[in-house]
Amino acid sequence: MSLEIEKRDNALIVRVYGEFDLRAAEFHRHDIDEKFRTQGAKHIIFNLGGLTFIDSSGLGVILGRYRKVTENGGRVAITNVPPRFNRILELSGVNRLIPVYDDEAEALRELA
Amino acid sequence: MRLEFLSLPENVGLARVAVAAFVAGRDLQVNELEEIKVAVSEAVTNSIIHGYKERSDGVISVTASLYDRFLEVVVEDQGKGMSDPNQVMKPGVGTDPERVGLGFMFMKSFMDEVDVWSEPGQGTKVKMVKLLPDKTNTPGNSRENGG
């Protein structure tokens, strides 16, 4: 899995490409936290458009970031979810905690 | 099919892709294949995280058997085991805040049968069964690979 991380407005946009499993979770979790801190962002937007697989390890990273960010008054959003991952987001309850938007622009508008 | 590998995070992907390739000849929909991959991933991840406590020298075996009407996948480790496997199958039971106790919930949701055998110090064995479309109507039938 690879990540493309960019700060826009006060949100850190994290674009996820590939398979978000245990290895990716261990490898990238601190990356996201580090960028979030050094770039002085308030919110995180996970763009899942390039996702090819996700399990509880990947969802755990998103939920973990959600907890940290919301503790500090920020918000988390998810965008561009490929339809095949709708069920796993529903089952995990992630989409009840974290709003899901069509694209980054919509998420940025909502977070502004 | 039987595969043995070390308890390394990079082998989680290997295990799920091997099982997916093993059932590739069957007429599965994309979402059914996805569900099998998630279930295998969760079982192997549990062995690495809980069974071997992230030690990388443990051995995990994945055995997949294909029958007319179902796929059986057995994931086994010789890790630390547990005294009450039914306890971990309850949603929300997890020790690490980043590991949200979803693993068994996904296994149970995505497979038709999940059984766990474990004893402290004796490792853990997870058997999962997924019902498959009858292979006798596979060629030229109307099932489409949606998704």
> Which position has the token pair 């290997």?
B14
**Residues contacting B95, CB < 8 A, separation 6+:** none
* Rounded Cα distance, A32 and A19, in Å: 16
- In A1-112, which ranges are E strands? 2-8, 11-20, 43-54, 76-79, 100-101
A19 near B CB under 8 A? yes
**What pLDDT, on a 0 to 100 scale, did the predictor assign at position B146?**
44
Q: Tokens at residue B99, please?
A: 């590991």
Contact A22 B49 (CB under 8 A): yes
Active-site residue, selected from the candidate residues B54, B99, B113, B141? B99
Fold of A2-111: Transcription Regulator spoIIAA (3.30.750)
- Which member of B10, B30, B106 has the closest CB to residue A55? B106
Domains with residue ranges and CATH for chain B? 2-145 (3.30.565.10)
A1 chain-B contacts, CB cut-off 8 A: none
- Residues A77-88 have a mean pLDDT of 96
Q: What is the pTM of this model?
A: 0.91
* Rounded Cα distance, A89 and A67, in Å: 17
**Residues contacting B44, CB < 8 A, separation 6+:** B11, B12, B15, B16, B60, B62, B75
Q: Tokens at residue B77, please?
A: 């480790």
Instruction: Tell me the Ramachandran region of residue B81: left when phi exceeds 0, alpha when psi lies from -120 to 50, beta otherwise.
Output: left
> Which position has the token pair 């029958």?
B67
Residue B139 pLDDT greater than 60, yes or no? no
Cβ atoms within 10 Å of B139's Cβ, excluding its own: 7
Which residues lie across from B5 on neighbouring strands? B60
**What pLDDT, on a 0 to 100 scale, did the predictor assign at position B20?**
97
- Residues B31-37 have a mean pLDDT of 95
The nearest alpha carbon in chain B to A27 belongs to B9
At residue B6, φ and ψ (nearest 5 deg) are -80, 155
Q: Where are chain A's structural domains?
A: 2-111
Round the average pLDDT of chain B to a whole number and report it: 87
Residue among A92, A10, A4 at smallest CA distance from B42: A92
A87 near B CB under 8 A? yes
Amino acid at B21: A
Condensed to tens digits (0 to 9), the pLDDT of residues B86-137 reads 777 665 555 555 565 799 999 999 999 999 999 999 999 999 999 998 766 5
ipTM of the complex: 0.94
Q: Tokens at residue B128, please?
A: 């999962």
Strands ordered across the beta sheet of B2-6: B2-6, B59-66, B70-77, B124-131, B113-118
**What pLDDT, on a 0 to 100 scale, did the predictor assign at position B85?**
80
